[in-house]
Amino acid sequence: MSALSLLPARRPVPGVFVALALTLAVGWLVVLVDGGQLFNQATTVSLLHVAAGLGLVAVGQTLVILGGSLDLSVAYVISLSTLVAAETMNGSDGALLPAVGLALAVSAGVGLLNGLLVTRFRVNAFIATLGVGLLLKGYLDSNYDGPAGATSPALVQSLGYQRVGPVPLSFLLLLALTGATWFALSRTRFGHHLVAVGGDPEVARLSGVRNDRVLVTAHVLCSLCAGLAGIYLASRLGSGAPRVGTEGLYDLESIAAVVIGGTALAGGRGGVVGTVGGVLLLASIDAIFNQLEVDAFFKQVIRGVVIIAAVAVYARRALRKGAW
Amino acid sequence: MPDPPVPLLTLRGIGKSFLGVRVLDGVDLDVAPGEVHAVVGENGAGKSTLMKIVSGGHAPDAGTVEVAGARQAFRGPRDAQRAGIGIIHQEFNLLPERTVAENVHLGHEPVRRGLVDRRAMRERTRELLASIGETELAADTRVGRLGVAQQQVVEIAKALALDARLLIMDEPTAALADHEVELLYGLVRRLQQRGIGLLYVSHRLTEVFDLSDRITVLKDGRRVTTVATADTCTDDLVRHMVGRELSSYYPDRAGPDEPGPVRLTVRGAGNRKLRAVDLDLRAGEVLGVGGLQGSGRSALARALFGVSPFTTGDVTLDGRPVRLRSPRTAMRAGIAYVTEDRKGEGIVPRQSVLDNALLAGRAVFPARSGHAARARRVRDLLAAVEVRAAGDDQEIRFLSGGNQQKVVLARWLALDPRVLLFDEPTRGIDVGAKSAIHDLVRRLARDGAAVLMISSDLPELLGMSDRIVVMRDGRIAGELPAGATEEDVVALAVGHTPQSRTEIDR
């Protein structure tokens, strides 16, 4: 199979990359005028680190949203995963692999619960995953007051701080995960069926797709991604952190990145490449404002405007497509 | 057609009850390879239940289903698919965001070394499309960009991809424009030549006569008769279906004195889809609007109701100039609009019958005499139009098309409209409910409303209208008096000398 035929034939460059390029160009200029330098080593590295953390979550979030579902529990899964990983490692490199495995297994378990609630028990995804998230919050709040455990030094040195030039290992991990997910969506039955379930569950069912199985799988994968993000954050922080997920707003930010990336919130349309664009856009805005040292409140306002504008643009486009 | 050796499908003594209500009772039916077997009957006659039993959606309480001589007990649609039965629903089961190839192979994507083989998918789609004579459709096109007729082709290819030997078509022309119907005819014939049997459910008797080899009439869950199409005629068929003569379909037209003063005038009006429209609509008359799909008929109604308003020209209502900028202003001016797309624009499927009937009044007019009084009035209207529902609080999506339409009518009647715009008021509605709607329309005119009725159903247009205007390319091409012929309408609609509308190949 030649590399060329792997490329999606008809999809144009998602608009989010145009927006990203514009943002970076304008940001670079503004920072330059301000007397700074946007693309110096330190800012680039920190931008890519921010993007890696959010990106790992958002790739998983893309899967469930494509399938017409949603996952609000990711922030708590992240926190839980940092703790499970760091406490199991307890500062030793020997426990690295079992700890990673356990953190991912726990995450997958949460995903399975989410998936079963959404499919078998027909609980609305918003409510089901919010409920599971609160459940985890209760556990975390009552058992932890602050950082716990210690991440294995090997993991901190590799996933946490290792770089190839200005590109952190974690960002390469994100790119690999994105590639694998893109491939799964376009070239496996699971991918085709997931998009079908999100597009129209009834059509999928009548075409012989096992909707429930597909959605449960998507939820498990989403939670696994969140668990992976947790392991990454543990490697950055050096310990487990019971509130890192919620303080980082990973639930809403990941959904925002997915939507900015052009995936329809109702499911059935979009993809993981756009999501990475959305993640980079959010991370760039962050980096630019950090450079300019603007007020955090103003930064939030701008992010809000970007999210709303993105959704409005996509809605208009959908309207034009639907018009006849 | 003489008895073939092994029919594709044999149904014997099929019975089915829901909650103790017998919906089907001892129905026999068989379909031979290459045969088009039409099933007709009023809504509630049991057609759709029968089709669901054949396609695995319901299990019968009694009787047997045999496919090519082998007895079957379907547990779900997948079992029926595996036995070679495909169904083309009235609403398409397609994903607009996915390509033709992806839709055709959904649920059974070809896999090579664990991965979806996209090339094989495209190839096979092309072959399937070519086998039913469709060579222009690209397998990579997004389905949402296709027209309704092409989407139907994709549906059929999707069924054939599963090696369907028997295809069920449920009202296949309901969504098609006139010229697309011809394409479907060709498609049906090609399927026939391939030895595929077709069960063809339709309300449109013209099609049934054009296409079918045999016709089975269902009434109240029983089979009334199965006849060779060549041995019967429309009148016979309608008698079997409703026990009534064809001529009694349409209520009497307005007498010479009935049309009153001019109520609505349109002068030189236009918008993006309409040009220089002049129109007079009198109180007490039914003005028919004919023309091809896309000729501006619906655009006219939508402009008058303020959905896509006129941008030029003048409209007066009872002598006073009005500006119809939005549906709200149109309703306040006393205009009501029964849309063509009942499911999409007419009803709120998950709301109750009562809420649907109250919708427009609640939205636009304050309840002058109290909410309870308004609800009482609407209940009376629902009873007057004879809506058959389990109760006012039943969700409207569970009603038949005819009953849904009656609820929509009741909604507008509650507003005492001076002008009523009907766009395809009986599309997808069975014969019995059709004539009830016709009676209602006429009664409204008799009570002094001005009625404008768009219809693609020529017998209906001719039978109901006191006058007919025919549209072409966004203009009014001409006006015809009552008693005009189908040929007159078509000649104006296509813009040249008379020719016959349907060529019946027999």
Least confident of A6-20, A143-157, A250-264, B130-144: A6-20
Least confident of A131-135, A160-164, A283-287, B397-401: B397-401
Q: Does A266 touch chain B (CB under 8 A)?
A: no
Residue B309 is given by DSSP the state: -
The token duo for B138 is: 């690209």
Question: Does this chain's domain B9-247 share its CATH topology with B250-334+417-494?
Answer: yes
B12-26, B89-103, B234-248, B356-370 — which one is most confidently predicted on average? B89-103
Instruction: Answer yes or no: is A218 within a domain.
Output: yes
Q: Does B20 touch chain A (CB under 8 A)?
A: no
Question: Which chain B residue's Cα is nearest to A9?
Answer: B140
If 0-12 CB within 10 Å is exposed, 13-18 middle and 19+ buried, where does residue B329 land?
A: middle
Q: In the predicted model, is pLDDT for residue B43 greater than 90?
A: no
CA distances for A57 relative to A171, A254, A297, A311, B264, angstroms: 13, 6, 24, 20, 61
Alpha carbon distance A85, B92 (integer Å): 49
State residue B352 phi and psi, 5-degree precision. -75, 165
User: How many separate domains does chain A show?
Assistant: 1
Instruction: Answer yes or no: is A117 within a domain.
Output: yes
Closest CA to A67 of A175, A178, A176, A184: A184
Alpha carbon distance B167, B176 (integer Å): 18
Of the two residues B48 and A79, the one the predictor is more confident about is A79
Q: Helix axis angle, B353-364 relative to B401-413, nearest 10°?
A: 30
CATH number at B250-334+417-494: 3.40.50.300
Q: Note down the domain range covering A128.
A: 52-269
Instruction: Answer yes or no: is A282 within a domain.
Output: no
State residue B160 phi and psi, 5-degree precision. -70, -30
Written in H, E and C, the secondary structure of B59-110 is CCCEEEEEECCEEECCCCHHHHHHCCEEEECCCCCCCCCCEHHHHHCCCCCC
Instruction: Answer yes or no: is A140 within a domain.
Output: yes
Q: Using the beta-carbon criterion (under 8 Å), do B115 and A188 form an inter-chain contact?
A: yes
pLDDT the model gives residue A3 = 38
Residue B4 is given by DSSP the state: P
pLDDT the model gives residue B245 = 46
Put simply, the chain A residues between 73 and 92 with a CB less than 8 A from any chain B CB are: none
> With contact defined as beta carbons under 8 Å apart, do B286 and B441 qualify?
yes
Least confident of B92-101, B162-171, B314-323, B382-391: B382-391
Tell me the mean pLDDT in the region A277-288: 92
Question: Which chain A residue's Cα is nearest to B95?
Answer: A199
Instruction: Answer yes or no: is A103 within a domain.
Output: yes
Instruction: Answer yes or no: is A32 within a domain.
Output: no
Q: What is the dihedral of CA A110, A116, A119, A121, to 10 degrees?
A: -120
Instruction: Answer whether CATH 3.40.50.300 is correct for domain B9-247.
Output: yes
Position B369 confidence tier, pLDDT thresholds 50, 70, 90: confident
Positive or negative torsion for Cα B108, B114, B117, B118: positive
Q: Using the beta-carbon criterion (under 8 Å), do B144 and A321 form an inter-chain contact?
A: yes
Written in H, E and C, the secondary structure of B17-41 is EECCEEEEEEEEEEECCCCEEEEEC
Residue A274 is given by DSSP the state: H
Tens-digit pLDDT profile for residues B105-135? 998 899 999 899 999 999 999 999 998 888 8
User: Please, which residues have CB within 8 angstroms of residue B489's CB and are 6 or more apart in sequence?
Assistant: B290, B458, B461, B462, B468, B470, B480
Residue B12 is given by DSSP the state: E
Q: In the predicted model, is pLDDT for residue B277 greater than 90?
A: yes
Q: In the predicted model, is pLDDT for residue B4 greater than 80?
A: no
Instruction: Answer yes or no: is A12 within a domain.
Output: no
Q: In the predicted model, is pLDDT for residue B503 greater than 50?
A: no
Sort strands B36-40 and B197-201 into parallel, antiparallel or unpaired: parallel
What are the E-state strand segments in B156-311? 166-170, 197-201, 214-219, 222-228, 262-270, 277-282, 286-291
Question: Which chain A residue's Cα is nearest to B140?
Answer: A10
Alpha carbon distance A223, A232 (integer Å): 14
**B460, β-bridge pairs:** none
Distance from CA of B151 to the nearest CA of A (A): 14
Of the two residues B436 and B301, the one the predictor is more confident about is B301
Q: Does A213 touch chain B (CB under 8 A)?
A: no
Residue in A189, A196, A208 nearest the CB of B95: A196
H-run or E-run covering B378:
helix B371-384
Alpha carbon distance A310, A19 (integer Å): 9
Distance from CA of B129 to the nearest CA of A (A): 19
> With contact defined as beta carbons under 8 Å apart, do B352 and B395 qualify?
yes
Distance from CA of B274 to the nearest CA of A (A): 15
Tens-digit pLDDT profile for residues B281-314? 999 999 999 988 778 999 999 999 999 999 999 9
CA distances for A161 relative to A80, A156, A255, angstroms: 22, 6, 27
Question: Domain segments of chain B: what residues?
Answer: 9-247, 250-334+417-494, 353-414
Closest CA to B300 of B320, B342, B330, B321: B330
Instruction: Answer yes or no: is A118 within a domain.
Output: yes
If 0-12 CB within 10 Å is exposed, 13-18 middle and 19+ buried, where does residue B257 land?
A: exposed
Position B78 confidence tier, pLDDT thresholds 50, 70, 90: confident
**B505, β-bridge pairs:** none
